[in-house]
Amino acid sequence: MNQESLKILVLHGPNLNFLGKREPGIYGLKTLEDINSLLQSLASELGVELSIEQSNHEGALVDLIQSTFGVFDGLLINPAAYTHTSVAIRDAIAAVAIPTVEVHLSNIHQREAFRHHSYIAPVAIGQISGFGAESYCLGLQALVTHLRAT
């Protein structure tokens, strides 16, 4: 794969637009804008192009995932609460069949039992959780490494 042409879509799911205000003890003080700035800086270092979107709506996220087909090389997604409920998002990822990394700010396996199951994990190449905003950076690095190795 041409290393200079990698295009990655970053998707943020519901309520992530409230980062920095919402339950800072769980999600930290960084805002979504802070995370996006970190990702854009890292993408520049890695020589990849990012498109970043956020939606609180399941159907909009499905539409964005479907838009990756034939356009993007990889998907970095924090499906947030939809991780545990959305077969539609899972099916959209499976349908486009591009390498996907699932990320979470908190460690979903240390939280409530209903958060332990991910519909996304079986169709993702990997999952990174529990490192706050750094989960996104680790996820992007892992995705780029994977894409360049294929």
Helices (H) and strands (E) in the chain, counts: 5, 5
User: Is there a binding annotation on residue 9?
Assistant: no
User: Is there a binding annotation on residue 15?
Assistant: no
Q: Is 82 considered catalytic here?
A: no
Q: Is there a contact between 50 and 8 (Cβ–Cβ < 8 Å)?
A: yes
Catalytic residue selected from 12, 82, 104, 119: 104
- What is the torsional sign of CA 15, 17, 21, 27? positive
Q: Is 104 considered catalytic here?
A: yes
Please name the amino acid found at residue 131: F
Query: Nearest 10 degrees: CA dihedral of 15, 20, 25, 27?
Result: 50
The helix (H) or strand (E) run that includes residue 101 is strand 100-104
Catalytic residue selected from 12, 27, 82, 119: 27
User: Is there a binding annotation on residue 2?
Assistant: no
User: Is there a binding annotation on residue 115?
Assistant: yes
User: Is there a binding annotation on residue 64?
Assistant: no
Binding residues, by number, are 78, 84, 91, 105-106, 115
Which residues are marked as active site?
Answer: 27, 104
Binding residues for substrate, by number, are 78, 84, 91, 105-106, 115
